[in-house]
Structure 1
Amino acid sequence: MPKVLLPLKGSEKVGLIGLGTSTRGVAEVLAHSGIGTLTLRAKETIPSLLPPSFAVRCYTGDTVYDEIWEDILFFSPSARREDPRLLAAKSRGCRFSSDAELFFDNTHAPVFAVTGSDGKSTTATLTSLLLSGGAYDVRLAGNIGRALSPLLFSEGRNTLTVAELSSFQLQYLSPRTRRAVITNLTPNHLNWHKDFAEYKEAKSHLLTYAEDAVLSADDEGCVSLFSGIRPFAVFSVRESLSSLLRYRARHVFTLSEEAICLDGRRLLPLSEIRLPGVYNIKNFMAAIALSMGYTDEERILSVARTFSGISHRAELVATRGGVRYVDSSIDSSPARTLSTLSALTDPPILLIGGKGKGVPFDSLIPTILS
């Protein structure tokens, strides 16, 4: 089992902020590394969710950040780090980390990273499928529901990791990756980020140490982040090959003659792609760009023909009395809802709702009315 180099010195005291998938992953690493005692600070503390080997001291409710005496705190992605009590602890020498930071500090395997406002789960899943089927041991983790740090124990010579990263994770992280893509940028999570500028800045951290960066040329927000960066690949469903040459990318993906084209050559006919919608053509372009050199055309064609999408994203769940019921509850922003609606062939009866994230819904109105 590979050794994980924890950022600890001697018998330092360890705490977890929050009890989600990522912090439970950190707890698993701590347990394997012989740590026996930790502090759990969360809105709701359920110590039984942690490995049974731990002696746990809990702080909850209004006392979550009281009496911070730990030497290092591992944060859940949804927990911000600017509370005055946290900053006071940091000034006393307390160090901050997370599941993703622990993983990227220790991994030696190539990482293919995906972020973006929309399409990142589909793109990350497609990338993992394109990389699989050969000599590689491919793992998919991160914001897609699986902690990153426990993967360190099963890392081998042929390991490849596909990491889906959220703006919450990237707020405090600039990871080193083999290849990275930002699928698009639209306002999101503005109930957590101070404003869209901070959200965009967090996403941009993915490009800081990427060996190869993939550019979505159809998205103005993404293009603005590539100032001074020469992309490994650029993709567009709107622009021509000659137009995209201005980015000086090594590879160019375009949409032409009813096919995804690579450097002007037909690569994947649209008729072979099982997933509907222009947004999924973009997801395929991004995933193929990420996996270049690690997959082949036969694998690309096989994935296109068989991949039916991720759960809760334009997912057909039932047909009753000639009526199709589609679950797209993962569309937690107006932009995602618009993308899904654009892929439907029949006018839908639309049921929408949920908790807002500080994002205006005005953009939905014209489409709903039409």
Structure 2
Amino acid sequence: MSLIATDNISIVVGLGITGLSCVRYLLSKGHRVIVVDSRDNPPALDAFKAEYPDVPVCLGPFDAELLSSATQLFVSPGVAIAEPAIREAQSRGVRVTGDVDLFSQLVGAPVIAITGSNGKSTVTTLVAEMARQAGLNVAVGGNLGTPVLDLLDDSVELYVIELSSFQLETTHRLGASAATILNISEDHMDRYPNKLAYLQAKQNVFRGCRYVIVNEDDRLSEPLMVDGMEAIRFGLGKADIRKFSTVTEGEETYICFGFEKLINVAEVAIKGAHNISNALAALGLGSAAGIDMSAMLEALKQYKGLEHRCQWVRSLDGVDYINDSKGTNVGATVTAIESFGKSGRGKVVLIAGGEGKGADFSPLAEPLTKFGRNVVLFGRDAGKIELSLTDSVQSVKVNSLEEAVKEARKLAQAGDSVLMSPACASFDMFRNFEARGDAFIDAVNRL
């Protein structure tokens, strides 16, 4: 049954970029729409009222009676469906859905869906580049950039979408041609009661899926429901049938499918073990969607990655400065430490801190014991991170990111990497992770 019912009212919950996208689409189909937002003055309010003066907007605490009067609620990712008023409406028979759920009913071309705690944006943009290299008209978006409803176009031959756990909470059956959970580490514990609830939200990416792409290096990437699905696996090392992996021969390492060597890792433009894992995932997704292998390998040679994701900034006095501002959770930072620590050069001077979102920072201790020289901490949860570290790595707290960069320079030795991978969100001190990364780059360039 279609989600669109023009004789009923849909309420769009949240006036952010996704909410605006939902309103545009629903109105274009003649739907009756009400918008609600718990904020008294959402950022886009004036522009919205100017464009849609006839759409009612209700601000402030959610009204359970109003929400319960709707046929369906289109809940934006920034709003938890655990909100009491939303739960009340749901208990009274109101359908709780989202833009991705609607997109899945309307889309007319194959969909590749990518979720996970870390690496989503890199894999999403890499798969899209592989598709473009093969001559396909590809649309890219979701949690990365353009909302999915704004991507809909009859000329599109392939959709590549990044999905967050928040988006997947309201996705009932995506029906992707190929989907993956890249990895799972503790994240958003300020929104979920535990890691299992977070994983369960991620698992919605597999509903109705044809091919599942499974990371053998992270067993939590396995689908819980396998009926009618075919698996393509990936993982670093240990080649096997229907698996993308790496094989080392002497001093050379190759990406393989099965037991066939495809490309020397040295030819892959994105560097670090975590990025080779991302490349394997992209190959798995692309092969499931039928993208030409030679085009995918050419894309691996050309694709240089995204800003703020283990981005090399400069080398100074033999020290590399790395901007990983997108490392907003502990798992991402652990991966970055290990990736640069295993490079065989020097040690890692880590810059970390910010708003921890209720995370447990203790997993940082082990990789820092192995690969860390020092830790420089700043931001709201600097003290909490400090308490979670062992005595085997020294730490110092400073008041700003600029101070952190200066302190890291004093501590680093030739051959080391100064890695800004905060393991935290940025909103205690910055507008977003991009602004934090730009501030790091500016501070490094002023050294």
Common fold, TM-score beyond 0.5? yes
The equivalent of 2:205 in structure 1 is: 206
CA distance in 2, matches of 1:101, 1:328: 32
The equivalent of 1:253 in structure 2 is: 244
Paired AA for residue 55 in structure 1: D
Q: Note if 1:272 corresponds to 2:267.
A: yes
CA distance in 1, matches of 2:354, 2:271: 25
Q: Which runs of 5+ in 2 are unaligned?
A: 373-447
Query: 1:329-348 alignment to 2 at 5 Å?
Result: 329-344=325-340, 345-348=345-348
Q: Deviations over 1:253-287 (max 9, x none)?
A: 12113101012100121011111111111111111
Q: Note if 1:72 corresponds to 2:72.
A: yes
Single out whichever of 112-121 and 72-81 deviates more from structure 2. Answer: 72-81
CA distance in 2, matches of 1:335, 1:214: 20
The equivalent of 1:287 in structure 2 is: 282
Paired AA for residue 80 in structure 2: R
State the Cα RMSD in Å.
2.5
Indicate conservation of the 8 Å contact 1:15/1:38, yes or no.
yes
CA distance in 1, matches of 2:118, 2:63: 33
Indicate conservation of the 8 Å contact 2:133/2:299, yes or no.
no
CA distance in 1, matches of 2:223, 2:163: 20
Indicate conservation of the 8 Å contact 2:122/2:278, yes or no.
yes
Shift of the alpha carbon at 1:85? Answer: 2.6
Query: 1:230-241 alignment to 2 at 5 Å?
Result: 231-241=230-240
CA distance in 1, matches of 2:47, 2:334: 38
Indicate conservation of the 8 Å contact 2:176/2:209, yes or no.
yes
Shift of the alpha carbon at 1:65? Answer: 5.0
Q: Deviations over 1:25-51 (max 9, x none)?
A: 112213433457532323243423437
The equivalent of 1:30 in structure 2 is: 26
Q: Note if 1:302 corresponds to 2:284.
A: no
Q: Which runs of 5+ in 1 are unaligned?
A: 246-250
Distance 1:86 1:125, change over 3 A: same
Fraction of identical pairs, as percent: 26
CA distance in 1, matches of 2:235, 2:144: 25
Question: How many residue pairs align between the two structures?
Answer: 355
Shift of the alpha carbon at 1:319? Answer: 5.3
Q: Deviations over 1:140-169 (max 9, x none)?
A: 1111122001222x233x521011111111
**TM-score of the superposed pair, with normalisation by structure 1:** 0.87
Indicate conservation of the 8 Å contact 2:131/2:296, yes or no.
no
Distance 1:171 1:92, change over 3 A: closer
CA distance in 1, matches of 2:238, 2:47: 50
Single out whichever of 218-227 and 322-331 deviates more from structure 2. Answer: 218-227
Indicate conservation of the 8 Å contact 2:113/2:178, yes or no.
yes
Paired AA for residue 4 in structure 2: P
Query: 1:77-116 alignment to 2 at 5 Å?
Result: 77-116=77-116
CA distance in 1, matches of 2:99, 2:5: 15
Indicate conservation of the 8 Å contact 2:12/2:36, yes or no.
yes
Paired AA for residue 336 in structure 2: T
Shift of the alpha carbon at 1:57? Answer: 2.9
Single out whichever of 93-102 and 327-336 deviates more from structure 2. Answer: 93-102
CA distance in 1, matches of 2:308, 2:75: 27
Distance 1:322 1:177, change over 3 A: same
CA distance in 2, matches of 1:38, 1:115: 30
Single out whichever of 258-267 and 116-125 deviates more from structure 2. Answer: 116-125
**TM-score of the superposed pair, with normalisation by structure 2:** 0.73
SS across alignment from 1:283: helix
Distance 1:322 1:49, change over 3 A: farther
Q: Deviations over 1:266-322 (max 9, x none)?
A: 012101111111111111111111111633343223222221111210113455676
The equivalent of 1:162 in structure 2 is: 160
Indicate conservation of the 8 Å contact 2:134/2:292, yes or no.
no
SS across alignment from 1:177: coil
Q: Deviations over 1:73-96 (max 9, x none)?
A: 211113122333323333444332
Indicate conservation of the 8 Å contact 1:236/1:255, yes or no.
yes
The equivalent of 2:11 in structure 1 is: 15
Paired AA for residue 179 in structure 2: A
Distance 1:230 1:150, change over 3 A: closer
SS across alignment from 2:146: coil
SS across alignment from 1:162: strand
Paired AA for residue 277 in structure 2: K
